[in-house]
Amino acid sequence: MKKESRSNLEAPHSMQKKAEKQPQQSSPPQDILKQLYRMMLRIRLFEEKTAELVQKNEILCPSHLYIGQEAVATGVSASLRLDDYVFSTHRSHGHYIAKGGDLNALMAELYGRVTGCSRGRGGSMHLSSPEVGFIGSSAIVAGSIPLAVGAALAFSLRRQDRVAVAFFGDGAVNEGTWYESMNIAGLRRLPVVFVCENNLYSTHMHVAACLADTDIHRKAEMFGMLCHSYGNTNVVEVYVTAKKVIEAARRGEGPSLIECMTYRWRGHVGPNYDLDKGLRSKEELDQWMAKDPINRLEKQLLQNKLLTERDVQRIRGEIQKAIDDSVVYAKKSPFPDEKTLLNNVFKEKIN
C-alpha cells in the first residue's frame, strides 16, 4: 500500500462541499457587525503583541497563539450571556477575550504575575475568569469537554436557561472522552454547544493522518444532535449559526455541534510559522492567510460605508493602546509570594 507523504495529504475532502451546503444567511444588524470586527481585531492585536513578547523572551510560558482563528471565538461568544459558561483549550487566549476577559489580567498571567487571571499560577494554558463565565482552559486535549457537559447537566437539573460551550480542536476527536461526552449530552438533551475548531493539525500531525473519517460533524449526528459545518472563516456565518443553536439550547432543545474549518497562522506553539519543519507548505499558509476573516469583514464594512478608513485607524489605535497598557500593568505587577507556592495545591484543613 502506497503511503502518502504528509505534504501530499489533502485537507478534509468535504471542506468545499461543506461551504456550499450552507444556506444563505441574513446579515446581522450593523452594530453587531461592528462589534464582531472590533472583537476579532482585539484578539489579533493582542496575539501579535504576545508573539512579539515571546520572541523577546519577556513572556516565558508556552503560548499557543490564536492568530487566524478569531472568527470562531468571536462569532460564538457574541451570542452568549454573561452567565453562560465557556470551557477552553491550550489555545485559549481568543476564547478568554471573546467571552469578556480582562486584557490586563490576561497579560499579567502570561507574565506570571500575581495580578493575572489565575494569580500567576496558570500561565497561557490555564486561564480562568469565572466572573465573565470563562470557567477555565486546560492543556489536556479534550479535557475540558466533559466539564462543559457537567455544567450543562447542572443547568438542566436546576431548570436554568443557561448554556455551556466547549471549544476544542480536531485532535480532541481522537480521545475517548469526546465520544462519552457526546453520548451523555445527546442522551440527556443537555444545553451544551460543542465547537470544533478544525485547523487541520493535531499538534504537528495532519487531521487526515490521524482520523479515519475527517467529517467530524457527521460523527456528532450519530448522537442525535444538530450539526453545522463551515469550510471557511466567515465570522458572520459563525455568528448566525451560533446564535441559532445557542437559543435552541436555551429553550431546552438539546445539544449541537458546530465544526469550523479554520487555520492557525503560527506554529503549534510559539511565534514561528513552522514552515521549516516540513509539516505544512508556504502555499497552504498563503491560501489561508488570503481568507483572513478580519480583512474580509473590514472590506465589507468599508464597502457598505458602515466604517470609514478613519474609523478603522481609530479602532486600531484604541485597541493597541489598551494592549500596550496591559503590558505596562503586567510589568509593574509583583510575582506571587514564594511563601504561597504550595497554596491551593494540597487539601487544607478548615477550622
pLDDT (0 to 100) of residue 160: 97
- Mark the ranges of the chain whose per-residue pLDDT is less than 70: 1-26, 232, 350-351
Contacts of 127 (CB under 8 A, 6+ apart): 88, 92, 93, 96, 101, 106, 109, 117, 118, 134, 136, 137
User: What's the sign of the alpha-carbon dihedral 73, 49, 45, 201?
Assistant: negative
Are 289 and 262 in contact by the 8 Å Cβ rule? The answer is no
Q: Where are the alpha helices (DSSP H) in 102-255?
A: 103-110, 145-157, 176-188, 216-221, 235-250
Q: CA–CA separation, 329 vs 171, rounded Å?
A: 35
pLDDT (0 to 100) of residue 12: 37
38-62 pLDDT, tens digit per residue, is 999 999 999 999 999 999 999 999 9
pLDDT (0 to 100) of residue 25: 56
Structure letter (DSSP) for residue 27: P
For 134, the enclosing helix (H) or strand (E) is strand 134-137
Q: Read off the pTM.
A: 0.90
Q: CA–CA separation, 257 vs 235, rounded Å?
A: 16
Are 329 and 108 in contact by the 8 Å Cβ rule? The answer is yes
- Mean of all residue pLDDT scores within the chain: 90
pLDDT (0 to 100) of residue 350: 65
Are 123 and 64 in contact by the 8 Å Cβ rule? The answer is no
pLDDT (0 to 100) of residue 7: 35
pLDDT (0 to 100) of residue 346: 82
